[in-house]
Copies of this chain bind each other. A is one copy, B any other.
Amino acid sequence: MPSLTEENYLKAIFVLNQGNEKKASTNAIADKMSTKASSVSDMLKRLNDKKLINYKKYQAAELTASGEKIAITIIRKHRLWEYFLVEKLKFGWDEVHDIAEQLEHIQSKELTNRLEDFLDYPTLDPHGDPIPNKEGVFPIELNETLSDKNENESTTIIGVKNHSTEFLKYLDALSIELGTKVKIKKINDFDLSQEIVIDDKNSKHISKEVADNLFVKISE
């Protein structure tokens, strides 16, 4: 069994390496985990010894099959618990991240599977992120963001990349939620900010950073 800390490292590496390119550098991991590069360096050696990652000095880390399995299990638990917190306990989507961050480390396969059954096998968590099944298979991949779209295109918001309370509250203020239709009226050349129309009604102005963090329905 990996320790709680090891689980968090594996999860961070999984998330950083999503979209195939090896981006899990020592600094990137340190940044994501709010720790120091030297600590990460130590830990990468240990995870390598345990064959949970492939790691060579001065090169980015990659998960092995068994490391990835653990990472996906953590993500599965995190997302199932988030769904539980929002759907059953009526938390807001901006309130559940830190609690799920703790719940994801509860060890019991049986618990995870019964929870999934109790929740009627949800496929997406409250932020639109896909929930891997018992076998670790994700139902869909979220790839395209609103920034990838062009002027005059319409699309639907299906997920958020950033899960911070601040960002989610900002979306609430803009009346953007999952399922919201968005039409891009204009993209400003200077800062790539967008003028958008929400649900054919309200016009809003959003920065590129916001558009970067909104996943949209994949074209055709």
Contacts and interface: CB of A to CB of B under 8 A. Distances in A.
Interface of A: 85, 88-91, 95, 98-99, 102-103, 106-108, 110-111, 114-115, 118
A114 B90 CA distance: 8
A1 to B, nearest CB: 12
Contact of A114 (B89, B103, B114, B115): B89
Contacts of A89: 111, 114-115, 118
**Among A88, A95, A107, A111: residue with most chain B CB under 10 A:** A111
Nearest to A90: B114
A74 to B, nearest CB: 14
A112 to B, nearest CB: 10
A102 B102 CA distance: 10
12 contacts: A88-B118, A89-B111, A89-B114, A89-B118, A91-B110, A91-B114, A98-B108, A99-B111, A102-B106, A102-B107, A102-B108, A103-B103
Contact of A108 (B99, B106, B115): B99
Contacts of A102: 106-108
Contact of A103 (B90, B106, B110): B106
Given A89-B114, A95-B110, 17 more contacts: A85-B111, A88-B118, A89-B111, A89-B115, A89-B118, A90-B114, A91-B110, A91-B114, A98-B108, A99-B106, A99-B108, A99-B111, A102-B106, A102-B107, A102-B108, A103-B103, A103-B106
